[in-house]
Copies of this chain bind each other. A is one copy, B any other.
């Protein structure tokens, strides 16, 4: 119920945010994203392929991403780029994240609840 030795439960929504953010800088493919996320968060966040691919598909279906297939060395890679809708979505995500962050951070530090 509490003891899941994998990623913590604050993770919800974070994969989507991270993926959009990384793709904003440059075109990438799924397998590459998996490693890029580990690298950019210095292993603090480690998403498996079973997380990344479904998010990618969902985002594309929602029109936030566009994909193109590109054969490289016989293997086929699916590269993703962020659409304008995706940029907007990323902006909203970052905004919400920041707000929530301030609120929770304040609660952790501030503690004191001044009753009416």
Q: Report the nearest B residue to A64, measured CB to CB.
A: B2
Pair A8/B18 contact, Cβ less than 8 Å: no
- Determine the distance from Cα of A94 to Cα of B107 in the docked complex, in whole angstroms: 11
Copies of this protein, total: 2
Pair B10/A113 contact, Cβ less than 8 Å: no
Cβ of A39 under 8 Å from chain B: yes
Chain B residues contacting A112 (CB-CB under 8 Å) are 25
Chain B residues contacting A61 (CB-CB under 8 Å) are 1
Interface size class of A (residues with CB under 8 A): 35 or more
Cβ of A13 under 8 Å from chain B: yes
Q: Report the nearest B residue to A107, measured CB to CB.
A: B40
A residues neighboring B (CB under 8 Å): 1-2, 8-14, 16-18, 21-22, 24-25, 36, 39-42, 44-45, 58, 61-62, 89, 93-94, 96-97, 99-108, 110-115
A14-B104, A42-B103 provided; 14 other pairs, C-beta below 8 A?
A1-B58, A8-B13, A8-B93, A9-B12, A11-B100, A12-B12, A17-B104, A17-B108, A18-B107, A21-B111, A39-B113, A40-B113, A41-B103, A45-B100
